[in-house]
Amino acid sequence: MSEKRGAEKQGTAEKQGQTTFFAGWPKPRRRLSREKRGLSLFFGSSLFFGSPFFVAVLLIVAALLPFFVSNYSVFQFTLVLVYAIVLLGLNMLTGYNGQISLGHGAFYAIGAYTAAILMDKFGVPYWATLPAAAAVCLVAGFLFGLPALRLEGLYLALATFALGVAMPQILKYKHFEQWTGGVQGIVIVKPDAPFGLPLNADRWLYFFTLLVTIVMFVIGINLLRGRIGRAMIAIRDHPIAAEAMGINISMYKALTFGVSAMFTGVGGALGAIAVQFVAPDSFTVFLSIAFLVGVVVGGLASVSGAIYGAIFIQFVPNIADQISKAAPWAIYGLFLIAFMFAMPGGIAQFVRSTIDRLELRRKSKV
């Protein structure tokens, strides 16, 4: 009788266009709209933190922030936004595509020098240097990614490390001095607010950087949640299966390298405009390592992890310096070890799992 009743239930469900589930099978999640899928990619599975309302609140807080802090703090938060763009690009390469890079400081330098040269030598407006820096770094990253296709894992990391080590020396090369300024670098002027807006230069640059950051994150989220993003993840997890499915692994890897360098170049151009100065010694290999640290601490394969990582690499060294003037990097190392032990999956995963646990506890009480 029970078997007959179960068969009748199954038949009724099939007639109604429903799917039946056996005990123990995980039921599929409710399909989200395109907008909510993008927000969930950024904030995780939480319905509240992935809602448009929370995004609106976050943007309002970001817009009001420069009116309640000092000019130096506004400058620091501008650099946080710059680093967030860079880490998003590096996360595409390392977190989503599985290619380790220790040379993204070189692409940051290329973007910074592209903006500085265009502004200083040709009088190009600061906002017009961003597309130029993006295009130059896209081509440079794609061309570097082509020969790097033969390398994987630590060998690729060493190749990119060599690029990061060589870049300061290339910028100091005597035949490039007329463009790069040699060891003395290039000084550029920070732009003033247009249209007579009642904002000083620091606040205006913060709002301009915030706008560019929003645009770059929208582009990044749309890339990652689409066919390109799925192909990147498939190449990272199962390259043989991805190739069997018809994915051009070589082309996608080279394109990912180029797109990652493009994001980094945009960040470099904004960073140069914010700091008002570029010099070869500002782009040592330590900068590339700091970017990789930010990606890992923020959370690999996480869009929101780029923001967490940017906050870490901007503020934690300053905090370490305030704690100990004699050994700031020792304190920084202790902070790094503590973060890795407490949050081995990165800050983004820790935040996401904490929110999920709180929601589960709330639902269990209802």
Question: What tokens does 139 get?
Answer: 């081509």
| Structure confidence at residue 50 (pLDDT) | 52
Which residues are within 8 A (CB) of 307 and not within 5 positions of it... i.e. 6 or more apart?
80, 84, 298
Do residues 67 and 59 make contact, with C-beta atoms less than 8 angstroms apart?
Answer: no
The beta-carbon contacts of 69-76 under 8 Å, at least 24 apart in sequence, are 71/200, 71/202, 71/203, 74/202, 74/203, 74/206, 75/202, 75/206, 75/274, 76/314, 76/315
- CA 296 to each of CA 60, 300, 343: distance values in angstroms, whole numbers, following the listed order: 28, 6, 10
Is 306 strand, coil or helix?
Answer: helix
Looking at the predicted structure, is the pLDDT value of residue 39 above 70? no
Structure confidence by residue, pLDDT tens digits, 40-94: 555 554 444 556 777 788 899 999 999 999 999 999 999 999 999 999 999 999 9
Structure confidence by residue, pLDDT tens digits, 290-336: 999 999 999 999 999 999 999 999 999 999 999 988 999 999 999 99
Distance CA 252, CA 157 (A): 18
Rounded to an integer, the average pLDDT of 160-179 is 94
Helices (H), 151-245: 153-171, 177-180, 201-225, 227-237, 239-244
Rounded to an integer, the average pLDDT of 326-349 is 93
Sign of the torsion formed by the C-alpha atoms of 12, 16, 19 and 24: negative
Rounded to an integer, the average pLDDT of 214-231 is 93
Q: What are phi and psi of 246, to 5 degrees?
A: 95, 10
Assign 3-state DSSP to the chain and report helix, strand, coil percentages, each to 5: 75, 0, 20
> How many helices and strands in the chain, by DSSP H and E?
16, 2
| Structure confidence at residue 14 (pLDDT) | 42
**Which has the closest alpha carbon to 359: 51, 38, 68?**
51
Grade residue 13 by pLDDT with cuts at 50, 70 and 90: very low
Among 27-36, 105-114, 158-167, the minimum mean pLDDT is found in 27-36
Greatest C-alpha distance within the chain: 91
Rounded to an integer, the average pLDDT of 186-194 is 93
| Structure confidence at residue 21 (pLDDT) | 33
Is 290 strand, coil or helix?
Answer: helix
Exposed/middle/buried for residue 165 (C-beta within 10 Å: 0-12, 13-18, 19+): middle
| Structure confidence at residue 23 (pLDDT) | 37
Rounded to an integer, the average pLDDT of 144-154 is 85
3-state SS of 134-154? Answer: HHHHHHHHHHHHCHHHHCCHH
**Entry pTM:** 0.87
Domains of the chain: which residue ranges? 71-284
Distance CA 50, CA 320 (A): 33
| Structure confidence at residue 44 (pLDDT) | 52
